[in-house]
Structure 1
């Protein structure tokens, strides 16, 4: 296959979820198009890109299916835990790192997407302002509930003083529509993202 992509092209994993920087994403890998890719990423220590689907499904099925389409902005995922419980199955836990923009993409004959990307700047460190301190405090309480059940959807380190980090964790926990979650992940202003989350919290039981 002739490709127009650069030698630095990365594999993409289109999914029905949005991965945020510093977020945790566990995955069960059993599709042929991803098994070799995940093994190679684990062996090399290189990340792959997670992009949210706009058309198509997470799992390829036999027979005619609509083509996959996905958002141009995604998040790099690094593998932090890797297990092979049985042949043909890999279970991993990933951490979101940097956001990126797809500048060119191609699909291989086996269905794997490869892409050239531009890594986007990380959120600037903006402290949680005093009038939104309750958003961080409620996140602390929420995590205490998870930890009392000996589970946690949040990775270390925890940065309850950082507006972007707090907003991202609430984006993962709240039942936000996928398109809204994608839009907030793409925002370059972490304080605006936190303000939007505070508006959502005020309409739920997690408000002030």
Structure 2
């Protein structure tokens, strides 16, 4: 597993691998970051905020959870001179070791990249959850609304890790619950945890 120092975008809501993250950027420090990432075709790190605020407050450092996910820009639109709209796709997960101030007020994180999920077939007892998500996708397609779905194709409904990540994103979970799912390295265990949370809802 390789280590790196990356620019961080702390958010109250994060992203999972292959997930969709839609942002409107207006803070000067992040306008510069996103423009550079778009120009250089490089990702940035999204870290969930454990305590603190998304908007910069002088003298205040947000406390971030231990794990995050890289974000790759897929759509970029300059709505106004100081307002960007971007759609990003989640990449590799990472473990965040420490945080330090960086150029232009952007936090820098020293991270270790975590392996991609192996492709894992979905056990039969969880097929119901794949069917429900598939029905939602099919309904949007039939209504000509597929481009409004907060999902990237291809829809890997038979893959345990992909399904667990998508359900974790759309379910109304607390940040610490989503963080606990992101941390889990085993896709089957992550899916089992999602199913357990579903039964508690």
TM-score for the superposition, normalised by structure 1 = 0.87
| Corresponding residue to 1:196 among 188, 193, 197 | 193
CA apart distance, 1:195:
1.6
The alignment partner of 1:71 has SS state of strand
Residue of structure 1 equivalent to 2:105: 111
Shift of 1:87: 0.6
CA distance in 1 between partners of 2:195 and 2:98 (Å):
36
Q: Answer with 1 or 2: which has the greater Rg.
A: 1
Greater mean deviation of Cα atoms: 156-165 or 191-200:
191-200
Deviation at 1:37, TM superposition (A): 0.8
Q: Indicate whether 1:45 and 2:45 are aligned.
A: no
Q: Given the alignment of the two structures, is residue 73 of structure 1 paired with residue 58 of structure 2, yes or no?
A: no
1:89 aligns with 2:89: no
42-51 or 98-107, which deviates more: 98-107
Structure 1 unpaired stretches of 5+: 1-5
Cα-Cα RMSD: 1.9
Q: What is the Cα deviation at residue 109 of structure 1? A: 6.5
Equivalents in 2 of 1:185, 1:149: separation in Å?
A: 32
**Partner residue in 2 for 1:3:** none
Tell me the residue number matched to 2:138. Answer: 144
Q: CA deviation at 1:197?
A: 1.9
Deviation track 1:10-47 (CA, whole Å, cap 9, x = no partner) reads 21000001210000001111101111111110000010
Shift in Å, 1:66: 4.1
- Quick check: 1:55–1:66 contact (8 Å CA) kept in 2? no
Deviation at 1:86, TM superposition (A): 0.8
Q: Which is helix-richer, 1 or 2?
A: 2
TM-score (norm 2): 0.90
Provide the rounded CA distance (Å) in 1 between the counterparts of 2:164 and 2:70.
19
Counterparts of 1:72 and 1:196, CA distance in 2: 19
1:170 aligns with 2:164: no
**Number of aligned pairs?**
196
Partner of 2:17: 21
Gaps of 5+ in 2: none
Shift of 1:149: 6.7
CA distance in structure 2 between the partners assigned to 1:56 and 1:134 by the alignment: 38
Report the alpha carbon displacement of residue 203 of structure 1 after superposing the two structures with TM: 4.8
Write out the 4+ residue segments of structure 1 that deviate beyond 4 Å after TM superposition: none
String of CA shifts for 1:50-108, please: whole Å, max 9, x gaps: 000011111125xx664311012110000000000111111100000100112332113
CA distance in 2, matches of 1:12, 1:106: 10
In the TM superposition, residue 117 of structure 1 has moved relative to its aligned partner by 1.8
1:145 shift after superposition = 4.0
